[in-house]
């Protein structure tokens, strides 16, 4: 099993996703002789998981069933153990696009945190690219190394435990892109410029406060970055529904035209949309935003090395 290479069957040592529903799933480390408790009963790894195809329906001891899914960065993002606040797929998708990442790209990241973005970056640059990720906190760095090893992507990532604002990324003039998610990104802009390739490298800084954005933009200008722009991603969901509106009374002439064009006594017209015209209402599809929506997560500032 690997997060960047699809495996057909579940093997001992794999990380799999137990899917109970769209709002209920969790990761499990598959181990011979181990059992996992769910609300539908026990899952026995030796008989219920190992050797089964990913995507299979597994019947639990109480008669209920779950699906066993192959892990992906998207599924890991909604199931990972939180060591820090994380980035979700809405922001991750625009970061990947705006940094112009592709297989073979070299990316520098700080900080690693819970590894949500890291897994997506690794999957994007595989199989020939590489991620250099820096984490200030020693325990979080060690845990990230352990997870990358368990997920079969350790050959695509280098984890460094150091302060990026003081010591940089540990590489020079090779990165196609740099991503910063730290409290004071303006202090790391100089190191980011040193890590980027000679010309055309992209940088992205994620900050929750506009004051951080202002100082970061000033630092980018000072170090000669161009095409500086900041954006915010807000997911707005629309609810499509059928609504009925009353037809306005346009006078007797309109009534005469309506009666001429539509014969309600004709059986073939019964139940048609035009039948509602005789009843004074008309139905149509309408899209309206939900009353509540996901709020602010952070500002994304992008720039290009000149």
The secondary structure of 90-156 as a DSSP string is HHHHHHHHHTT--TT-EEEEE--TTSHHHHHHHHHHTTT-EEEEEESSHHHHHHHHHHHHHTT-GGG
Euclidean distance between CA atoms 188 and 180, whole angstroms: 8
Handedness of CA 78, 81, 82, 87 (dihedral sign): negative
Asked whether residue 75 is marked as a ligand-binding residue, the answer is no
Which residues, other chains included, contact 38 with Cβ-Cβ below 8 Å and sequence gap of 6+? 18, 20, 60, 64, 66
- Which of helix, strand or coil describes residue 53? strand
Asked whether residue 222 is marked as a ligand-binding residue, the answer is no
Euclidean distance between CA atoms 102 and 25, whole angstroms: 30
Asked whether residue 163 is marked as a ligand-binding residue, the answer is yes
* 279 CB burial (10 A radius; 0-12, 13-18, 19+): exposed
Euclidean distance between CA atoms 177 and 162, whole angstroms: 19
Asked whether residue 114 is marked as a ligand-binding residue, the answer is yes
Asked whether residue 116 is marked as a ligand-binding residue, the answer is yes
Asked whether residue 181 is marked as a ligand-binding residue, the answer is yes
Euclidean distance between CA atoms 115 and 284, whole angstroms: 46
Asked whether residue 194 is marked as a ligand-binding residue, the answer is no
Q: How many CA atoms lie within 13 A of 42 on its CB side?
A: 8
Helices 116-125 & 138-150, crossing angle to 10 degrees?
40
Cis status of the peptide bond prior to 127, with omega within 30 of 0: yes
> Which is nearest to 99 in space by CA: 195, 223, 203?
203
Which residues are annotated as part of the binding site?
A: 114-117, 135, 163, 181
Which residues are annotated as part of the binding site for S-adenosyl-L-methionine?
A: 114-117, 135, 163, 181
């Amino acid at each position: 099993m690997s997060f960047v290479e699809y495996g057909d069957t579940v093997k001992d040592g794999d990380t799999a996703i137990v899917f109970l529903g769209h709002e209920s799933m969790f990761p499990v480390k598959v181990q011979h002789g181990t059992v996992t408790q769910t609300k539908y009963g026990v899952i026995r790894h030796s008989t219920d998981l190992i050797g089964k195809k990913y995507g299979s329906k597994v019947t639990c001891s109480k008669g209920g069933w779950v699906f066993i899914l192959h892990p992906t960065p998207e599924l890991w993002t909604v199931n990972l153990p939180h060591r820090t606040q994380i980035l979700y797929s809405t922001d991750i998708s625009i970061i990947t696009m705006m940094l112009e990442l592709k297989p073979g790209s070299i990316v520098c990241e700080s900080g690693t945190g819970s590894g949500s973005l890291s897994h997506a970056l690794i999957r994007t640059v595989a199989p020939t690219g590489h991620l250099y990720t820096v984490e200030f906190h020693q325990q979080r760095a060690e845990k990230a190394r352990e997870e990358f090893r368990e997920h079969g992507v350790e050959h695509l990532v280098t984890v460094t435990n150091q302060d990026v604002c003081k010591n940089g990324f540990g590489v020079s003039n090779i990165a196609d892109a740099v991503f910063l998610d730290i409290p004071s990104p303006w202090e790391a802009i100089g190191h980011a410029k040193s890590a980027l390739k000679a010309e055309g490298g992209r940088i992205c800084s994620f900050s929750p406060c506009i004051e951080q954005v202002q100082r970061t933009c000033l630092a980018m200008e000072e170090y000669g970055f161009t095409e500086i722009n900041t954006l915010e991603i807000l997911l707005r969901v629309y609810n499509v529904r059928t609504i009925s509106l009353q037809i306005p009374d346009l006078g007797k002439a309109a009534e005469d035209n309506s009666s001429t064009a539509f014969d309600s006594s004709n059986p073939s017209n019964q139940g048609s949309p035009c039948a509602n015209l005789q009843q004074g209402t008309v139905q149509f599809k309408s899209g309206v935003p939900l009353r509540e929506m996901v709020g602010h997560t952070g500002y994304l500032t992008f720039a290009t090395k000149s």
